[in-house]
Structure 1
């Protein structure tokens, strides 16, 4: 694949950025099916949030081109091959992961309308409607903005200059892979869809990981790449579920139960499969302290904010206190990872638990220092649910720099979930 030539030709608007409704993370489709079954009448609003305000997206990205890309996504529907893959493939050892009623709905889906407005040097981009329809905009919107930003930075480069750039970036990825090869017991997947440099680049990174790491590479979160490259689709659930369930809670008592109601519905949805806890939405420590006993029997936990080693230690202690053997549990690290941190965490926890890594932005978007003014450095762009049935959503996280929601509601949630002082940590991506 000559990525440099393809990027060069993008100047003539060859190739849409998002080519498929399954060019998304696997957990999105799993959550979508759960929402389709359990919360089909919930109305939500998703909104783009650029946490890296120093990146002026509205100056870099042409509004007309952004609209063209978003309009193209609205024209997409599942192809016959994509539907066959979702209906008939085996995921996590289970056939027919996606039920016939969900698939019938998904096969007829067109994404709902969007609202786009320029506000200063940023864009206001929002999506409103039924939860199970609107939620599928998230990954596509991020992919479009991230790749249009990349194109804006690269647009004045010649073909030869682009070839050198991508050769250097490929060398960087391969050097990382060579370092990862030597890590005993490594289990690592691509989690880089959300803030990738571009689809072609993510696809190349997955192929490089598969060739360079062999069985240590366990798969990709991207459904389209998983299907095309015949690798495992990886993912379970995300913060979106507890954020919206909590927003729907009628009072403080219901709010305190909401994160566990999510997992109860998830357990019923998947008949005991995909049992990975994501505990940090309102603070890991409090979540585990108040968790019902049946959650201790789940397969593992994903650490996605705060100090990853501290989070894993909390989980190990919790399992031990609940009479579970941490060596039989899986800890998935997925926040801001690069090779040094992966190696460090593997050394610290290998043998104490089953360690896995979901490697994201610094796999699929590490162009740091490769263009003038570091114009391709990754930045923190998210698209989050900001309201449900007219009520604001809140996320606290184990890193208060990732918190979101109205100040009064953040204070209420901290009180309900007994969140004390937290360590502020830089948000890498």
Structure 2
């Protein structure tokens, strides 16, 4: 685990430290979703866009468009390696072997490519848009977010002396260790790394993952980063995301089809995957309405991931919903993943312990918590809320309502129409971490 971060930060070069090192350097759910899209929606055309929800930060002031395009072109030049494809084909994921079909892996090797993109800047704002076939656009999400976040990091580090870099990373290591030490004291706690998209850097994410593995043992479930799982023989964690129901909803031709889109995607998903990959993400158009209208077979899924709702409220709601349908919540899995840090992880573990199998997906504040570590007291290394969202599907607007209105995306009139169709309540506007 010996990494001289100060020296590496001082001497970044393409051969030693490209930001994205492999096409596997993405969240595992993106590969699962890519196979799903390739199989079911191969000809659908989409656009997506990077959205900076931290409006106080002007990205164009911190990220060079020229250097960003160079990094993006580097990513487009990458290909899946033979050993990586063999690992995808032969490894056991979630207790199941051969999750990825041979013809899909053949397409990854010979037919996969990333779509076109457009990078522009205006008045300090950086605009990054992607357009093309859905199967060519979808993988840009994590690559692009990783690029922008690490380019912010590199820009800030370039202003520091080597001594200041040493101080910065010493403080960050101590902070990380203090968090891990607190987790070590609690029996039965379960934590996974979900921090790829908003990481400080690849090297820091790898350092954090290795530290968790060494220190937490069985309490560390694995990582969402497929490349790190491949490289370090870890469990690859992840299932699906809001992108799927958003796209199917946009493709709906009637209000009835629109309401059913959130369940149709589950039906198609379980035709492709089973077992532990059957994790609900019900908040795309509102959790309460989703559970109220869900078909009976949805209660047989493995569990639920909470994203935008208060985890206590969402967990209690899911447990009550399961009990009302005669399912034992203690056999189900509940995953929290939104803006967690160690205090919240421990609080939620205590609250749900013995009631349901609980696990935390620890993201930004695991792999990018440099708050109060800067040797000059600056906040330039503080993480920001950067997302990549689907904008159109076959020319129609894509919409996400969320349980937190601050996370809603789409044209205002379409958001209003979706709220009317789904009957989603307008919840409190919780600050996005």
TM-score range relative to shorter protein: over 0.9
Unaligned runs of 5+ in 2: none
Choose the corresponding residue for 2:74, options 49, 72, 75. Answer: 72
Q: Give the corresponding residue for 1:6.
A: 8
Equivalent pair of 1:11/1:155 in contact (CA under 8 Å): no
Choose the corresponding residue for 1:405, options 397, 402, 410. Answer: 410
Equivalent pair of 1:236/1:276 in contact (CA under 8 Å): yes
- Answering whether residue 23 of structure 2 is matched by residue 21 of structure 1, we say yes
Choose the corresponding residue for 1:425, options 418, 427, 430. Answer: 430
Q: Give the corresponding residue for 2:372.
A: 369
Q: Residues of 2 paired with 1:150 and 1:236: CA distance?
A: 29
TM-score with structure 2 setting the length: 0.97
Equivalent pair of 1:76/1:110 in contact (CA under 8 Å): no
1:420 shift after superposition: 2.0
Matched residue of 2:119: which SS? strand
- Answering whether residue 388 of structure 2 is matched by residue 383 of structure 1, we say yes
Q: Residues of 1 paired with 2:113 and 2:391: CA distance?
A: 22
1:282 shift after superposition: 0.6
RMSD over aligned CA atoms reads 1.2
1:101 shift after superposition: 1.1
1:258 shift after superposition: 0.1
Q: Give the corresponding residue for 1:392.
A: 397
Alignment map for 1:308-319 (pairs within 5 Å): 308-319=311-322
Equivalent pair of 2:115/2:133 in contact (CA under 8 Å): no
Q: Give the corresponding residue for 2:144.
A: 141
TM-score with structure 1 setting the length: 0.98
- Answering whether residue 309 of structure 2 is matched by residue 291 of structure 1, we say no
Q: Residues of 1 paired with 2:132 and 2:14: CA distance?
A: 34
Matched pairs, number: 428
Q: Give the corresponding residue for 1:165.
A: 168
Alignment map for 1:223-234 (pairs within 5 Å): 223-234=226-237
Deviates further, 151-160 or 38-47: 151-160
Choose the corresponding residue for 2:333, options 326, 330, 337. Answer: 330
Q: Give the corresponding residue for 2:44.
A: 42
Choose the corresponding residue for 2:419, options 414, 418, 425. Answer: 414
Runs of 4 or more, structure 1, over 4 Å off, are: 11-14
1:2 shift after superposition: 1.5
1:183-210 Cα shifts (integer Å, max 9, x gaps): 2211110000010001000000000000
Q: Give the corresponding residue for 2:35.
A: 33
Q: Give the corresponding residue for 2:56.
A: 54
Equivalent pair of 1:60/1:152 in contact (CA under 8 Å): yes
1:131-180 Cα shifts (integer Å, max 9, x gaps): 11110111000000000001111102122211121111011111100000
1:12 shift after superposition: 8.2
Choose the corresponding residue for 1:236, options 228, 235, 239. Answer: 239
